[in-house]
Amino acid sequence: MSEYIVEVKHLCKEFPGVKALDDVSFNLKQGEVVALLGENGAGKSTLVKILSGVYQKDSGELKLFGKEIHYLTPKRAQELGIAIIHQELHLCSHLTVAENIFLGREKVKFGVLSNKDMNVEAAKILAKLNIDLSPETIVEDLPVSKQQMVEIAKALCFNAKILIMDEPTSSLTSKEIEDLFAIINSLKKEGYGIIYITHRLEELEYIADRVTILRDGRFVTSMNFKDTTLPEIISNMVGREIKEKYPRINCNRGKKILEVRNLNAGKLVRNISFDLYEGEIVGFAGLVGAGRTELTKALFGANPIESGEIILDGKKLNIRRPIDAINAGIACAPEDRKKEGLCIKLSIRENISLPNLDSLCNKFGIVNRNKEKELTKSMAKKLRIKMASDLTNAENLSGGNQQKVVVGRWLARNSRVVIFDEPTRGIDVAAKVEIYNLMNELKRQGIGVMFVSSEMPEILGISDRIFVMCEGRITGELDISEATQDKIMEYATRFEKKEINSRTA
């Protein structure tokens, strides 16, 4: 039997106008973690979809556990022992944790669904993985981080020996990431083979045995992680050296654009006050559940405001719906790009033009198609959106290119304030730099930029000022000259520490 449980040789896959994989080779041994790396559009997702039976290869050789596979379906891949943990959650939100874990394999007694048995077995799986969740909890009541853990439990409850993890830490806290790495290292010792896809390259030192790098659909290199460096990995991914990971520009701070006073909106936006000036980037830091996303939604009119004031350029706003914020000059790129940022069944052109129809339509409400094409062409060039055509549906783009479309649709508007919620989530290192440069360009134009990020180096690398939130309140403000990870974490856990102290007093 071969030493590899996955062997791919000279694999090719082509879509209309795009060669997604061109002579790609890849392998995975039992009991190892191979990081599959590359920019968005490099071919990682296509390779994973072939391994999981979603796509069929055009040519090349695929072997699983030493046996050549000519035709693979998702069901057959699952039967052979392949489980995939997707970046975008695939859960039924109205069902319980246990019901999601056993979806499609429900336990039945005497022809009746046995929730009791499923709850007992789910509790065992969650305990084994050190996941503190009740099997009876409804999934929609869980934060995104906990839903991600349910995805992991769901994948591992199958009799799988090959795990594919696609950006599994993108919604997890630092503690949950540590727990996940402990799970991965434990599974590795049990003989699981793990394909790990991430854009957070700093994670690799904790789990990766080897790295395999793709670029533009082609195999670049495969090497032991201990024999390489992060700059070398990045250079292989992008085909050039990236000298500055967090580009920063200095601008003179202009007049005050945005004033938020004593804003209240639900349990996680309580008495929020801050200012935003022309030509600055303000970062919002905090742990998962601190209320940062809820704040962005309140400012954009997506969550109802109970009380407080929002003042833009000296004028008090009455924001009840997103259209009120848009008309006032506030734009928002949301965290969940597929659910809230894009119409994935529409084309790239339609997505970019959608919030700009007021400038693209004539007085009779008819869209000027030439203007629409020029706008899309301009944004695609500026953001380097990789696409076969601007008529390609947004759902067919890689995660990074989808995020670029979300950003691009707002850059065409004459916005005074642009809010980015986790703008680089699921985006490769080169695309991140492009997003940072775009934020810098907005800053240079005198536009106020507010952004939320769970990545501490990103917050420290791009922000001019940092506000830290905890339990729905701003607990600290730091100028970038005095900001450190330790200070941010101190503010991010301020209320939590007070609660612990009150219990021990």
Residue 1 in this model has a pLDDT that exceeds 60: no
Task: Let me know: does 193 contact 29? Beta carbons within 8 Å.
Answer: yes
Helix (H, G, I), strand (E, B) or coil at 124: helix
Mean pLDDT of 492-504: 54
Mean pLDDT of 401-419: 81
Structure tokens at 55: 């796509």
Q: What is the pLDDT of residues 309-346, one digit of tens each?
A: 999 999 999 999 998 998 899 988 887 777 778 888 89
Task: Let me know: does 289 contact 268? Beta carbons within 8 Å.
Answer: yes
Between 91 and 431, the more confident residue is 91
Mean pLDDT of 338-367: 86
Q: Which of 37-51, 181-195, 340-354, 425-439 has the lowest mean pLDDT?
A: 425-439
Kindly list the distances between the CA atom of residue 138 and the CA atoms of 96, 142, 150, 173, 360, in Å, as whole numbers in the listed order: 4, 7, 11, 21, 44
* CA–CA separation, 69 and 63 (whole Å): 6
Between 173 and 442, the more confident residue is 442
Q: What is the pLDDT of residues 199-240, one digit of tens each?
A: 888 899 999 999 999 998 999 999 999 999 988 998 888 877
Residue 80 in this model has a pLDDT that exceeds 70: yes
Comparing CA positions, the residue from 147, 119, 117 lying closest to residue 134 is 119
Phi, psi of 378, deg, nearest 5: -65, -45
Structure tokens at 257: 């654009």
Question: What is the CATH number assigned to the segment(s) 256-504?
Answer: 3.40.50.300
| Strand 193-197 to 307-312 pairing | unpaired
Q: Which CATH number is correct for 4-238, 3.10.310.30, 3.30.70.2390, 2.120.10.70, 3.40.50.300? A: 3.40.50.300
Structure tokens at 358: 């007021």
Comparing CA positions, the residue from 405, 379, 383, 375 lying closest to residue 392 is 405
Mean pLDDT of 359-369: 87
> Taking all residues of the chain, what is their mean pLDDT, rounded to a whole number?
87
Residue 61 in this model has a pLDDT that exceeds 60: yes
Q: How far is CA 142 from the centre of its chain?
A: 18
Check residue 499 and give its pLDDT: 43
Task: Let me know: does 74 contact 114? Beta carbons within 8 Å.
Answer: no
Read off the DSSP letter of residue 453. -
Distance in Å from the first CA to the final CA of the chain: 63
Residue 36 in this model has a pLDDT that exceeds 90: yes
Mean pLDDT of 437-466: 90
Residue 69 in this model has a pLDDT that exceeds 80: yes
Comparing CA positions, the residue from 144, 106, 141, 108 lying closest to residue 122 is 106
* CA–CA separation, 269 and 27 (whole Å): 48
Check residue 12 and give its pLDDT: 94
Read off the DSSP letter of residue 29. E
Residue 370 in this model has a pLDDT that exceeds 80: yes
Residue 503 in this model has a pLDDT that exceeds 70: no
Check residue 496 and give its pLDDT: 52
Residue 498 in this model has a pLDDT that exceeds 70: no
Phi, psi of 118, deg, nearest 5: -65, -40
* CA–CA separation, 296 and 452 (whole Å): 8
Task: Let me know: does 319 contact 305? Beta carbons within 8 Å.
Answer: yes
Mean pLDDT of 491-496: 75
Task: Using pLDDT thresholds of 50, 70 and 90, give the confidence band for residue 90.
Answer: confident
Check residue 500 and give its pLDDT: 36
Q: Which of 52-66, 314-328, 395-409 has the lowest mean pLDDT?
A: 395-409
Other C-beta atoms within 10 Å of 191: how many? Answer: 12
Check residue 241 and give its pLDDT: 66
Residue 505 in this model has a pLDDT that exceeds 70: no
Helix 144-156 to helix 115-128 angle, to the nearest 10 degrees?
100
Between 381 and 210, the more confident residue is 210
The highest-confidence range among 39-48, 246-255, 354-363, 479-488, by mean pLDDT, is: 479-488
**Sign (positive/negative) of CA torsion 199, 203, 207, 209?**
positive
Query: What residues does 219 pair with on adjacent strands?
Result: 214
Q: Which residue ranges make up each domain of the chain?
A: 4-238, 256-504
Task: Let me know: does 411 contact 434? Beta carbons within 8 Å.
Answer: no
* CA–CA separation, 107 and 117 (whole Å): 7
**Beta-carbon contacts of residue 251 (< 8 Å; ≥ 6 apart):** 279, 280, 443, 444
Task: Let me know: does 58 contact 253? Beta carbons within 8 Å.
Answer: no
